[in-house]
Structure 1
């Protein structure tokens, strides 16, 4: 009884949340509450930064990041680097299997102390103990399957170092939202990178990101039309047929 009451209430609340977007542009995600903003507002502690000598401020050739030849690659919490995503994958697989089996068994008792002859007298016409049992079986199966996939994605996104692990590995996270008319395109990237994998241009490719999480999608009127309604989704899960 409770399930019958909770299900309509859940569907009603979901519908109300969608009705708020009628005639309005989809809202951007606030950047103030993001992990990137928190990392920039709480940078690396001073004792974790390499000390600078007094002469560094007056020299063009010192090793500081602000110098003319300094290393400006992202290395500290709150720094920004560019993630280059160039995915061009294709896969094609084809499997075929075929199996067949046949068998035949026959058993009869032609003579056994004269008992089969006595039994044959009481059997119906045409029946005989000479072919008492006979079996025959035949089975065959075949299968054919194929998979063909082609994916291509070329994107660039700015990511922020949100944490520096004890072993020096950097935890990066980046988000990007672009609104075109009534549709927002979202790009999310997250993972772990090594400082030495970051190029001199302060860029890193997606294949050097460990535990990479890359999401490219959108939300808005077009996305809503492409999704099945809540009632249909619930029916697809609940109905056994």
Structure 2
């Protein structure tokens, strides 16, 4: 059986596919999913205490232990201090002139003429010029803080941290996600690290809701802006 699609059916199918794509794009961001689930620390095995003893294993507290993040599941605060400024300006000017003259040929000691005019004498000239200018500037700034957990302790002691923070507003939700590597020596006494000391940092700030949808391009606009558009 051969199925033939009319132009109206083709447009409807394309619209359905783009709508589903848009829904999938807008709905993939959810808190606590995938790699962003909170890391659960593994409790060390404790020996059972003697019944009636004052000391209980795993319930002790030391006044001389450094409480900064050191193990998987520990919490560390990242102070976001991101600011980038970039500018570029260029100007190009070129000019080129060419002149070429060909003297008239002579025949038997005299110029070759036609009607008293030397027609074999020629001169050529060309002039080319170009002038272009361009400038670009960009500035970004992100400040705040996010508390993350230690997801992995590397063999050299470096800590891989990750975490997210969601804020629900009356017109939608906003979130910050961060992952990267930090050194224990960079952790301050208040258990915080500036973001510019986070190696391989990946910081994402976005959201969803009415305000975010109002700033998003529609599926038809995205279609014409894609590489598949013939226009």
SS at match of 2:212: helix
- The CA distance in 2 between the partners of 1:80 and 1:115, in whole Å, is 101
Offset, 1:16: 6.0
Offset, 1:69: 2.9
Whichever structure has more helix as a proportion of its residues is 1
- Work out whether residues 44 and 77 of structure 1, in 8 Å CA contact, stay in contact via their aligned partners in 2: no
- The CA distance in 2 between the partners of 1:138 and 1:45, in whole Å, is 83
SS at match of 1:228: coil
- Work out whether residues 31 and 166 of structure 2, in 8 Å CA contact, stay in contact via their aligned partners in 1: no
Structure 2 unpaired stretches of 5+: 46-53
Render the CA deviation track for 1:20-69: whole Å, top value 9, x for unaligned.
x9xxxx998343755442x21x53776xxxxxxxxxx99xxxxxx94223
Offset, 1:213: 0.7
Render the CA deviation track for 1:111-169: whole Å, top value 9, x for unaligned.
2556962xx44xx88561122xx322111112222223333321100011111122221
- The CA distance in 1 between the partners of 2:118 and 2:16, in whole Å, is 71
- Per the alignment, residue 20 of structure 2 pairs with 13
**CA 1:210–1:72 in 2, change beyond 3 Å: closer, same or farther?**
same
SS at match of 2:165: strand
Whichever structure has more strand as a proportion of its residues is 2
SS at match of 1:233: helix
SS at match of 2:121: helix
Structure 1 unpaired stretches of 5+: 47-56, 59-64
**CA 1:30–1:186 in 2, change beyond 3 Å: closer, same or farther?**
closer
- Per the alignment, residue 139 of structure 2 pairs with 150
CA RMSD of aligned residues (A): 3.4
Runs of 4+ in 1 over 6 A off after TM superposition: none
Q: TM-score normalized by structure 2?
A: 0.76
Query: Which one of 161, 175, 178 corresponds to residue 189 of structure 1?
Result: 178
Q: TM-score normalized by structure 1?
A: 0.73
SS at match of 1:129: coil
- Work out whether residues 43 and 76 of structure 1, in 8 Å CA contact, stay in contact via their aligned partners in 2: no
Instruction: Show the 5 A alignment for 1:78-97.
Output: 78-97=73-92
- Work out whether residues 36 and 164 of structure 2, in 8 Å CA contact, stay in contact via their aligned partners in 1: no
- Per the alignment, residue 49 of structure 2 pairs with none
- The CA distance in 2 between the partners of 1:114 and 1:170, in whole Å, is 95
